[in-house]
Structure 1
Amino acid sequence: MDMSVERPEGYPTRDVVTAVGVEHVRLSYEYLDRRDLDGYGSLFEVPAESRSAEVDASHVRAEDGPHLVGEGDGECSHVLEQVFCCSGRVVVVGRLVRGERNVEFVDLFTLTEHGLLRSRKSYFFVESGVAGI
């Protein structure tokens, strides 16, 4: 029995959608580092969900922006070390750098069928004795 799904002519394959999603994930970090919350929000399906220690399980909204980028706490940047993708999901391993402080993170993204970001869940590792970001 053939379980494949027929796609209309011109409809992107799952591999293409995942590749677009990976580029959206990479772009999301650029937007966060530039503090461009409108650009960041444009990459997500509405409503979107973002869960991390920084956003305290809130939905992605403009009022959450200061928590996402650490407003008032100085500039920050994301250093992406590895990006994995499979079946509409993207996993990023990296470091959040703010001044002399580095915090390792893993972000899990779920993609829509069009390559937009549906959700983001973040996990942080902070060595003992080091203050969190």
Structure 2
Amino acid sequence: MTSDRIRTSSAHPAMTAAGVNHVLLTYHYLDIGDMDGYASFTETDVTLDHPGAPLRRGREAVLRAHTAQASPLRRHELDTVIADGETIVALGRVVHSAPDAAGRTPAGTDFADVFTLSGQTLVRACRRYYYAPPPGPQPPSGS
């Protein structure tokens, strides 16, 4: 990700920048399957709130949830990171590079993660939102 895709606004820019780096590293460690590396950037009382899954509280529960999803064929591709103080929002896609039964490679799923950081710039909470088209009929493309 290029630095022009990261926007920050804070009274403490150095702490916000450190928090952004920590969030970026959590994605890196998840993508390579290094759960100890991931854990090093989280608070012991971290929470993880993903759609369709129970709320996870505490580092051990969060690590178990991530370990269950870990795969060398799964990665996060970030488009934009926006930071303001202890809140960081990352927009991107979760991409699975394994082909399906028909030999097609899935394109991925768009997401927005909202992180809350502690005073030590560690992840205190992460809440994920997935993109879904609105219900009902869709307008014809090109409209």
TM over 0.5: yes
Match of 1:107 among 105, 113, 125: 113
Matching of residues 86-101 of structure 1 within 5 Å: 86-99=84-97, 100-101=105-106
Q: In the alignment, is residue 123 of structure 1 matched against residue 129 of structure 2?
A: yes
Tell me what 1:30 maps to: 28
Residues 19 and 122, structure 2, Cα contact 8 Å, conserved in 1: yes
The runs of 5 or more residues in structure 1 that have no matched partner are: 1-12, 129-133
Take 2:62 and 2:21, find their aligned partners in 1: how far apart are those partners?
A: 23
Residues 91 and 113, structure 2, Cα contact 8 Å, conserved in 1: yes
1:84 to partner: Cα distance: 0.2
Take 2:96 and 2:22, find their aligned partners in 1: how far apart are those partners?
A: 23
Take 1:90 and 1:29, find their aligned partners in 2: how far apart are those partners?
A: 13
Q: In the alignment, is residue 82 of structure 1 matched against residue 88 of structure 2?
A: no
Take 1:19 and 1:91, find their aligned partners in 2: how far apart are those partners?
A: 13
Take 1:111 and 1:32, find their aligned partners in 2: how far apart are those partners?
A: 18
Take 1:21 and 1:46, find their aligned partners in 2: how far apart are those partners?
A: 16
TM-score for both structures, normalised by structure 2:
0.70
1:53 to partner: Cα distance: 2.8
Residues 53 and 122, structure 1, Cα contact 8 Å, conserved in 2: yes
TM-score for both structures, normalised by structure 1:
0.75
1:48-104, Cα deviation, whole Å (9 max, x unpaired)? 111113753112544544542524x66200000000001211000000001222000
The runs of 5 or more residues in structure 2 that have no matched partner are: 1-10, 98-104, 135-143
Residues 116 and 125, structure 2, Cα contact 8 Å, conserved in 1: yes
